[in-house]
Amino acid sequence: MNSDDDNPFQSGWASRTEVPVTRTDVSLEEIDLQGIRWADFAPTTRASFRDQRIVSYRNYRNCSTDHSAILNDLHRPRTDACFFDFAYTLTKHKYKCSEYHFQLRNLLWSTTKHSVFYSHVESVRNWSSLSRTSCQILKRDGFRVSTICANNSFVFMGAFTGEYLFRVSAITQELMATDANISGNGNDDNDPSIHYGIITNDRFGITNHVELGCNRSGQNIAVISSNDDSLRLLNLDSLVISHHFRFPWAVNCSSMSPDKRLICVTGDNTDSSIITADSGDEVIGLKGHIDFSFSCAWSPCGRFIATGNQDITTRIYDIRNPSKALVVLPAVMGAVRSLRFSDDGTFLAAAEPCDFVHIYDVAGTTNYYKQHETISAPLPSNNNDKIQNSSGFIASPLGIDAFQSQVIEFFGEIAGISFTPDGGDLLYIGISDDRTTTKKSSKLYGYYGQNALANGVDIKNGTNSRVTVTSDYQRSLAYYCQTGFYDVINLAFLNIFGGGKNTFTITFASFNVTTAYGGHYTYNGDGLESNSADVVQGYASIGLDIITCQALGVKVILSIGGDRVSPYTFVVGDGAAYATLFYDMFLDGKSAVRPFGEGVVLNGIEMDVEKNDDPTVWTPEMISFLQNLKKLSPNSLVAVVPQCYLGSAGKDENVGDVIAAAASSIDYLIIQYYNNPVCSYPFGFNFVTWKTLFTGPLVIGLAGDWTSAISGGFLDASALQTVYDLVKSDDQFAGFSVYDVSSSNPPAFAWSFVDYADPPLSEYSQTLRNVLDGKGSGGVSLASLGPAPLENTATAYRCGGTWVDANSTCSNAVCSDTSSTNCGANQNCFQNLSPVC
């Protein structure tokens, strides 16, 4: 955007977005293009943070060929060009872009200068810079978006489950002027302009990419690349799949040539293929990459093909001499996930997974190229023609002055990129991450998977004893993410592992009040899993929910451990072995067996192990586990979850030594304060002591209601606000966690057995969110939640590892301080603030 007349931030605009960033804002050098005021982060500078991010970023790869194999191929273009000027950024738009899969980033398309289609959660929306609004265009409940495409005639989205949904819509600037001009909301099964169908029922049938266009007969088609090793041409007029081409590898991206005769196909293979559009026969093999490709694009003139790969390069081939890439362009941090030519062929844009978009001057380079070429060869005139390699072309890399580029850099995951048509004078970039703020953000973590509310409290009979109820109060994972309360969800628990077996079991309670997915998932080692079809499908359903959560900006962490009767047994070597196993199966590794489904990558792993049989083995192995896990996946979150109680040595009895030795590999701690009154508010809140044991972020672990905590462990709204006021200004305070989401967000019917209606317990997650957002507790007092617990927490005792009331005794231990009035003889207990025995 090159003139102030095009600046959308005129009078009335600022009220439509919370933090608009304009060219004027940036030119004052007070903030960057994302609205980040780096002076507030001193002494950290933007440059130093960028350097650290580049060093710590781990690019995902499927192949092990070393990058040294292609170093001699690289052409390093000049990066000082300025083809595009910064126009504006919407930093906190209500309906931000979403991305759902770390490898699939084609989720934004511009059809006019002022109209942009993009994915948002489970829908496609349109942003109009003229009306300054975002409108829902296409949505279907339960449709898990994987990719989208749009042109002036259609808006199309593909799904992780092999489905498609598209809308016939000649959408113009005038049509997008107001929401009212859109017929329906894109979620109407009776709308004749909306069509739903199934591409494939294959369990691996993720729709990886879609390109809209026409065939040689002028019929509207969708070129659909699927993970089930297939490329399909769907006739959008007849809704018939006219062609189905199979490959020996998953097809990740395809692009049809401008003359409609050929299709470039990339996928889970180092080589790409050029096939004929009617027979699927390969006429050219494009070689040179050393990993899998996820993007490709055909220049408007039909002469050049660009492919983007996980080897962190873009290769541009001349169709007349495709035996060797014309140029190999390196990225900065990660794979080239999206490629777009401007429609006049002047520029090529290449997007990395995050932070960097490269704009290459293709026209300038090809002009240089034409001056040095000696022979040309025609495109094939029919399907029987095979393109012969030409001779006499440039054999050496292009000179440094032959290729110019512009690098646009920011911070955040990239959902998609798109030039505007009719000259490509605008480039839109969709960033799915929330803007980095200038204020420290405290997060809310929620544990999910144990249906804690099912162990309810029988309040009717005046006791606080736990009773078993039959209802499954835990709803789907996606439901809790969609509440908007949580920043991180902890999946609890993978609770059986160790012993040198390289096996594990995940134990989830029932997951949904209407759907019975969940249960036990067992991995037997050596690439084998022995689970029923229902369990496999159930965990795949959870995987789809994980994708939904991540699209909403909610990170999903796997919790390893949890309380159990028997201790964990480790043998020498378990630490490194399980780090590799969990990396391959849950993070960005490449195991063929992935419990939550292919392509589902969790955001991290936390260690919540509370018992072990032999600390002399377990401790060094758990240190090794954390260190190896962080080394394998430095971009994933790694956390430890200790109890708040500190033993006589002034450290956690189970994980204190682990935390001390592996501190550099741990991103944060979640300290459980709800099981130990001796170290909890109001009796002995020891947050300050924990600061001396770990210098990183500290999360305060809370109970979702009093049924999830021992007596005195639940903080009502007033106490919660008091605790927050104590720690909110502390640089290490990173938020609250709640165990668990079923108790802090119960469905209304869950409490029908209680004498009072609609319990205020359902407000507790909202209360936590309000407190963290600085809005005050605004919640309910403990008195309004029902009768108080029977025992007085001020006289609660810890007897060995168990909390008992004042009348209980411990017969198998001798108190080291029998003179204390807090402990009787032959008792081993703690009371109130001080451990005295």
| Domain identity same for 783 and 803 | no
Q: Quick count: other Cβ atoms within 10 Å of Cβ 310?
A: 23
Q: Are residues 280 and 308 in the same domain?
A: yes
Which range marks the domain in which residue 355 is found? 57-85+255-379+388-434
Separation CA 753–CA 792 (nearest Å) = 26
The Cα–Cα gap between 695 and 698 comes to 8
Q: For residue 392, what are its two tokens?
A: 């006499």
**Averaged pLDDT for residues 425-438:** 75
Which CATH number covers residue 219? 2.130.10.10
pLDDT in tens, 264-274: 999 999 999 99
Q: Does residue 149 register a pLDDT over 90?
A: yes
Residues 278 and 242 placed together within one structural domain of the fold: no
Domain end position, chosen among 220, 246, 272: 246
In a domain, 5, yes or no: no
- Residue 795 scores a pLDDT above 90: no
Highest mean pLDDT among 299-308, 426-435, 784-793: 299-308
Predicted pLDDT at 537: 83
Residue 43, preceding peptide bond in cis (omega within 30° of 0): yes
Q: Are 459 and 492 in a shared domain?
A: yes
Which range is least confidently modeled, 526-535, 690-699, 707-716?
707-716
| pLDDT score recorded for residue 711 | 57
Alpha carbons 131 and 120: distance in angstroms, whole number: 19
Residue 461 has pLDDT above 60, yes or no: no
Tell me the residue type at 666.
I
Query: Distance between the two ends of the chain, CA-based, in angstroms?
Result: 72
- The predicted model gives 36-65 an average pLDDT of 85
Pair (426, 528) in one structural domain: no
Helices 764-772 and 717-727: crossing angle, nearest 10°? Answer: 20
Partner residues linked to 529 by β-bridges: 523
What local confidence, expressed as pLDDT, does residue 217 receive?
A: 95
CA dist 177 and 79 (Å) reads 38
Identify the band that residue 705 occupies on the pLDDT scale cut at 50, 70 and 90: confident
Query: Looking at the structure, do residues 208 and 277 belong to the same domain, yes or no?
Result: no
Residue scoring higher pLDDT (827 or 481): 481
Helix (H) / strand (E) containing 74: none
- Over residues 326-369, the pLDDT tens digits come to 999 999 999 999 999 999 999 999 999 999 999 999 886 655 54
Question: Are 276 and 345 part of one and the same domain?
Answer: yes
Confidence band for 774, pLDDT divided at 50, 70 and 90:
confident
Single-letter code of the amino acid located at 523: Y
Whole-angstrom Cα Rg for the chain: 29
- Model confidence pLDDT, tens digit, residues 366-409: 555 444 443 333 333 333 332 223 222 333 334 445 678 999 99
Q: Examine the domain organization and report whether 405 and 452 are in the same domain.
A: no
Q: Are residues 222 and 364 in the same domain?
A: no
Mean pLDDT of 523-539: 83
The answer to whether the beta carbons of residues 731 and 438 sit under 8 Å apart is no
Nearest CA to 330 out of 303, 350, 355, 304 is that of 350
- Residue 420 DSSP label: -
Same domain, 824 and 745: no
291 and 428 in a single domain? The answer is yes
The predicted structure's pLDDT at residue 367: 55
Check pLDDT > 70 for residue 780: no
46 falls within a domain: no
At 832, the pLDDT band (50, 70, 90 cuts) reads: very low
